[in-house]
Structure 1
Amino acid sequence: MSSSPLKIVIIGGSAAGPKAAAKARRTDEFAEITLIQRDPDLSMASCGYPYYIGGTFDDRNLLVCTPAGIPRDPKFFDKAKRMTALVRTEAINIDRDTKTVTYKNLDTDEKGAVSYDRLVLATGAAPVCPVAPGFDLEGVLTLHSMADADALRAIRDEGKVTRAIIVGGGLIGFEVCEALRLAGIETTIIEKTPQVLPFLDPDLAKLVENHTRAQGADIIVGNGVAEFLGEDGQLTGVKLDNGTELPAQLAVIAVGVRPNIALAQMAGLEIGAKGGIRVNEYMQTSDPDIYAAGDCVECTSLITGESNRAPYGDLANLQGRVVGQNVIEPGSARFPGNTQTGICKIFDFTVGVTGLSEASARAAGLDVKTVVISGLDIPVFMGGKLLISKLVAERDGGRILGFHCVGPGDVSKRVAIMATAIMGKLSVADMVNADLPYAPPYSLALDHVIIAAHALENKLKGRMRGISVSEVKRKVDAGEDVFILDTRNPAEYEQMRLGIGETLIPQGAIRGRLEELPQDKDKEIILYCKISLRGYEVASILKAHGWRNLKVMEGGIMAWPYPREK
């Protein structure tokens, strides 16, 4: 006599939940699967919301359809997946003793219950909203649901809003900024911390800020929203912490998200130190018959072993797949952790990160060495575009810990390579001879990430001393006694210069003009060029001639985020 089919209940229908449901069905054709979703939509491509708002595509259904164009609605889940999907339905209680979930239909208030053998929590996260008067005014929105996306798209299409405020300078804030600017709306990003994209290296973040300003958006950092101003219930502007008032008919809150853990807490499940549901490598909660995945859980850093939160759609799908297999075959799949990899399009720039920043690595107690490089993604004769990157590695052993990359070039490929390197615990020495694909349409003969490894190897071995652009700026502003050497050619110098008291001696002329350098061989000399390759080569020449205090400005002029002379 065959055993009764497993009863699987999944709470949450955005990313992790449907993925878990689909994997469970593929693993067990006969399991009874029930999916409970509070919103009216299922399996939404939420990362596509900003592009729908901005007009990259106009068909809303593309956000909820399969690649074959079939809407992922309850009928689809019934016919294609043979499972019950309850939408506009909220799970309100979990009874772990009787293994029962009680739910309520949000349209009718009718209650029901469903029993489970194994339960999955994919309850996601909710937007963090500023505690400020006027938050309930019409015109103050978030971007978290399909309803939010619909509302912002309608505002774009109506064309009545002329000024908008984005509260929060993270990834979502910048994506919304681009969408609104493409609609011709004057947009200002307000970021409470001292820099936009707080997870990004500060010098690279400044380059992104400059690029965003060049696209017509404004950015205010180190300031928060104290009050949303309005008349007759409608938003008219915002008041900042410093008292400045900015007019606006629209404010989009993009401060971040916090895990939806209320249901888990009511059920007595363990919550981690970072505020998410605690799970093990099998995505099991403290109750072995209850699993959790997606934005509501805590992850484990593959670098430090510490807990973190990573509310990304790709991780939600990966975790959902692990859960879907384990609810049918417990212990058969693992999710070992994450490297905090993310990417974002900001107008013509891409911003990509993986692993630890220099600041977060040092905060974790790691002794690190870093390098910044600038260069093209492909050869200039193939239309190469600029990339500016920062590589972080352990000083002892050279294990790669992090990689940040920005620019109009192909950032995604380089971040993907370095994310894999971090996951594989590769070192700088492993990357200096990495066998990567090469052809002019796709990369340089030595790819950007290999160049980064070469530069950091030179620093680790003491062949080069680097200095960041921000440290150069600090020294100049402080009036420190340093000699600044520009090693470019005169044509480049006439086209663009930094205007920081530099002396121009082209690389090809340096050996014949050594007498123009400070004759005190211990005098600090800072060298640079467009990307600082020539700066490094000239430093090698000067070192051979006895100069001892040579520093190469990493990334060169291309990494300089401050005003330049033209």
Structure 2
Amino acid sequence: MSTQPTRIVVIGGSAAGPKAAAKARRMDEFAEIILFQREQELSMASCGFPYYVGGTFDDRNMLICTPAGIVRDPNFYGKAKGIEALVQTEALRIDREAKTVFLKHLPTGNERTLHYDRLILATGARPVCPAAPGFDLAGVQTLHSMGDADALRAVRDAKEVDKAVVVGGGLIGFEVCEALRLAGIDTTVIEKTKQILPFLDPDLGKLVENHIRAHGPDIIVGNGVAEFLGDNGKLVGVKLDNGTELPCQLAVVAVGVRPNIDLAQLAGLEIGDQGGIRVNDRMQTSDPDIYAAGDCVECTSLVTGRYVRAPYGDLANLQGRVAGQNVVKEGSAHFPGITQTGICKIFDYTVGFTGLSAQRAKAEGFTEIETATISGLDIPVFMSGKLLISKLVAERESGRILGFQCVGPGDVSKRVATMAMAIRGKLTVADMVNADLPYAPPYSLALDHTIVSAQVMENKLQGRMQGLTVTEVKERVDHGADCFVLDTRSPQEFEAMRLGIGETLIPLGALRDRLDELPQDKDREIILYCKISLRGYEAASILQQHGWRNVKVMEGGIMAWPYAREK
């Protein structure tokens, strides 16, 4: 007597869904697997949309093809994967008791009922749209689908738009900003909060803002869009909350996404406090026969232990793999949680982060934290090393690493990846100060940037160094604090670039012979720095051992200073 094969139905064909279906097929050659989604394309590399729009590559099929160049269409899934893939097909509702899904083929309007033994929801997310009049004007759009990418690429190729606005100062917003600017379009980014890239602390965020402005785009913070202005149905400008009107023919809304949970809610599945489908570490919903993965679910933070949303393509693939394995062999795969790691390219800078920023750590209840900011090269100067500026966040008492941010033209990715694994492994600063990482001049300094970051943090935690962020130094100077600011660079460096904050120049090599030029009140605050503050730290050590008791180092040096410099 033959046994009916298991039927696995997957709703959603972007990232998590196809990964889940493919994994389930590898686990069970004989299962009946049906995948469907509303859109025309399957398994789109949506993170590549801005680069297609910007002209990094011209063949749109590269966004939907395998590494071998085969387009992942229904025929591919049927022949290569043994998976029935349906496109332009919408799920209307789920009957959990009957274990059926009601479908509608959009071009024809035909409806059908599909039975499942196991169901996977990979319904993704929807773009958040501002509640502003005029959102339906021609020229206002998002960048969420292949259709959006095609429309923006057509705008780029037509060369008929000369002014554009990007609404939202996050990762996608600035990737779109770069794409439009490289197309010769005068672009302004509008961010409603006071800071761009909210996963960064303000001092690093300001450095990135300066870099973006240097490449042409304008940035407006602390202001939102009150209205999209139109003429004969076409966008002609935007009106900001403060009444300012900006002319433009294109507005790209990139203010984030929210989980697409309509089906799950209608089916009575548990929804979490963060607005996503609640799943366990097997990606199982409150119904044991229904799994969910990707942008529609909530994840567990490995730093705080709390539920969070993390709509990233890599996580969607990881979660889809776990769900696909468990629908065949329950409990055989686990997704423990995330460190919330991200990275993006913005002109010549890379911006990366993992774990918590200092401001986020405080908001999450970590009251006793320490930070360490450093500047330095990714590889030696004789190998044409490039600048990195990073900020490490750790608990004071335990030394546990909580977060890491890194920006600059150097190899940010390697350093963020290293720290992401340190956070995942619950490593401490002490674990990282002697980390055995790969070294050769083409790839790293003898002491990698991450190791130096940990060593600076260790110096602070053990009281060998007192540090100030550039923002703290700026605030002291602006408020007329009684501090003595000492630049320890060479005269040539001083003439080429100075901060203009009343600093005194005494090069490190001359310091021991010029101690009498320093404040003789040994309790007066002295702030030292150099280009990256290595010489500043060495000078601080000298002064401390000569009796000065209130010596501080401006962390990261001039390279981390985001404010206007004086020549």
Q: TM-score, normalised by structure 1?
A: 1.00
CA deviation profile, 1:158-183 (whole Å, cap 9, x unmatched) = 00000000000000000000000100
* Residue of structure 1 in register with 2:87 after alignment: 87
| Residues in 2 aligned to 1:424 and 1:260: alpha-carbon distance in whole angstroms | 32
CA deviation profile, 1:362-388 (whole Å, cap 9, x unmatched) = 122222111000000000000000000
* Residue of structure 2 in register with 1:411 after alignment: 412
| Residues in 2 aligned to 1:195 and 1:487: alpha-carbon distance in whole angstroms | 32
Q: Does 1:326 align with 2:346?
A: no
Q: Does 1:165 align with 2:165?
A: yes
Amino acid at match of 1:191: E
* Residue of structure 2 in register with 1:200 after alignment: 200
* Residue of structure 1 in register with 2:18 after alignment: 18
| Residues in 2 aligned to 1:328 and 1:414: alpha-carbon distance in whole angstroms | 37
* Residue of structure 2 in register with 1:156 after alignment: 156
Displacement after TM superposition at 1:461 (Å): 0.2
Amino acid at match of 2:118: R
Q: Does 1:351 align with 2:351?
A: yes
* Residue of structure 1 in register with 2:39 after alignment: 39
CA deviation profile, 1:176-219 (whole Å, cap 9, x unmatched) = 00000100000000000001001111100000000000000100
Give SS of 2:21's match.
Answer: helix
| Residues in 1 aligned to 2:357 and 2:109: alpha-carbon distance in whole angstroms | 48
| Residues in 1 aligned to 2:188 and 2:381: alpha-carbon distance in whole angstroms | 35
| Residues in 2 aligned to 1:88 and 1:146: alpha-carbon distance in whole angstroms | 13
* Residue of structure 2 in register with 1:442 after alignment: 443
Displacement after TM superposition at 1:304 (Å): 1.1
| Residues in 1 aligned to 2:217 and 2:483: alpha-carbon distance in whole angstroms | 36
CA deviation profile, 1:256-292 (whole Å, cap 9, x unmatched) = 0000001000000000000000000000000000000
| Residues in 1 aligned to 2:407 and 2:6: alpha-carbon distance in whole angstroms | 48
| Residues in 2 aligned to 1:217 and 1:304: alpha-carbon distance in whole angstroms | 36
* Residue of structure 2 in register with 1:55 after alignment: 55
* Residue of structure 1 in register with 2:284 after alignment: 284
Amino acid at match of 1:316: A
Amino acid at match of 1:78: G
| Residues in 1 aligned to 2:524 and 2:245: alpha-carbon distance in whole angstroms | 49
Question: What is the 5 A alignment of 1:402-551?
Answer: 402-551=403-552
Displacement after TM superposition at 1:480 (Å): 1.4
Displacement after TM superposition at 1:2 (Å): 4.2
Amino acid at match of 2:381: V
Amino acid at match of 2:168: G
Q: Does 1:258 align with 2:255?
A: no
Amino acid at match of 2:536: G
Amino acid at match of 2:108: T
CA deviation profile, 1:423-467 (whole Å, cap 9, x unmatched) = 111110000000000000000000000000000000000000000
Give SS of 2:536's match.
Answer: helix
| Residues in 2 aligned to 1:342 and 1:149: alpha-carbon distance in whole angstroms | 22
| Residues in 2 aligned to 1:191 and 1:521: alpha-carbon distance in whole angstroms | 46
Displacement after TM superposition at 1:307 (Å): 0.3
RMSD over aligned CA atoms reads: 0.6
| Residues in 2 aligned to 1:384 and 1:313: alpha-carbon distance in whole angstroms | 31
* Residue of structure 2 in register with 1:559 after alignment: 560
CA deviation profile, 1:327-347 (whole Å, cap 9, x unmatched) = 000110000000000000000
Q: Does 1:389 align with 2:403?
A: no
* Residue of structure 1 in register with 2:378 after alignment: 377
* Residue of structure 1 in register with 2:177 after alignment: 177
* Residue of structure 1 in register with 2:28 after alignment: 28
Which has the larger displacement, 302-311 or 2-11?
2-11
| Residues in 2 aligned to 1:274 and 1:466: alpha-carbon distance in whole angstroms | 37
Give SS of 1:359's match.
Answer: helix
Tell me the matched-pair count: 566
* Residue of structure 1 in register with 2:222 after alignment: 222
Give SS of 1:61's match.
Answer: helix
Give SS of 1:80's match.
Answer: helix
| Residues in 2 aligned to 1:113 and 1:427: alpha-carbon distance in whole angstroms | 54
Which has the larger displacement, 556-565 or 471-480?
471-480
CA deviation profile, 1:49-87 (whole Å, cap 9, x unmatched) = 000000000000000111111110011111111111110
* Residue of structure 2 in register with 1:267 after alignment: 267
| Residues in 2 aligned to 1:360 and 1:286: alpha-carbon distance in whole angstroms | 30
Give SS of 2:379's match.
Answer: coil
| Residues in 1 aligned to 2:53 and 2:237: alpha-carbon distance in whole angstroms | 22
| Residues in 2 aligned to 1:365 and 1:215: alpha-carbon distance in whole angstroms | 38
Give SS of 2:81's match.
Answer: coil
* Residue of structure 1 in register with 2:133 after alignment: 133
Amino acid at match of 1:116: Y
Question: What is the 5 A alignment of 1:292-303?
Answer: 292-303=292-303
Q: TM-score, normalised by structure 2?
A: 0.99
Q: Does 1:212 align with 2:212?
A: yes
| Residues in 2 aligned to 1:518 and 1:249: alpha-carbon distance in whole angstroms | 59
Give SS of 2:340's match.
Answer: coil
| Residues in 1 aligned to 2:408 and 2:277: alpha-carbon distance in whole angstroms | 36
| Residues in 2 aligned to 1:69 and 1:113: alpha-carbon distance in whole angstroms | 34
Which has the larger displacement, 364-373 or 341-350?
364-373
| Residues in 2 aligned to 1:363 and 1:200: alpha-carbon distance in whole angstroms | 14
| Residues in 1 aligned to 2:559 and 2:137: alpha-carbon distance in whole angstroms | 43
CA deviation profile, 1:501-523 (whole Å, cap 9, x unmatched) = 00000000011111111111110
Which residues of structure 2 form unaligned runs of 5+?
none
Amino acid at match of 1:406: V
| Residues in 2 aligned to 1:22 and 1:93: alpha-carbon distance in whole angstroms | 24
Which contiguous aligned blocks of 4+ residues in structure 1 show a shift greater than 6 angstroms? Answer: none
Which has the larger displacement, 205-214 or 475-484?
475-484
Displacement after TM superposition at 1:3 (Å): 2.4
| Residues in 2 aligned to 1:202 and 1:2: alpha-carbon distance in whole angstroms | 65
Amino acid at match of 1:445: A
| Residues in 2 aligned to 1:159 and 1:473: alpha-carbon distance in whole angstroms | 43
| Residues in 2 aligned to 1:458 and 1:3: alpha-carbon distance in whole angstroms | 66
Which has the larger displacement, 468-477 or 261-270?
468-477
Q: Does 1:233 align with 2:237?
A: no
* Residue of structure 2 in register with 1:190 after alignment: 190
CA deviation profile, 1:244-267 (whole Å, cap 9, x unmatched) = 100100000000000000100000
Which has the larger displacement, 107-116 or 11-20?
107-116
CA deviation profile, 1:216-236 (whole Å, cap 9, x unmatched) = 010000000000011000000
| Residues in 1 aligned to 2:246 and 2:18: alpha-carbon distance in whole angstroms | 42
| Residues in 2 aligned to 1:433 and 1:236: alpha-carbon distance in whole angstroms | 58
Amino acid at match of 1:66: T
Give SS of 1:526's match.
Answer: strand
Amino acid at match of 2:332: S
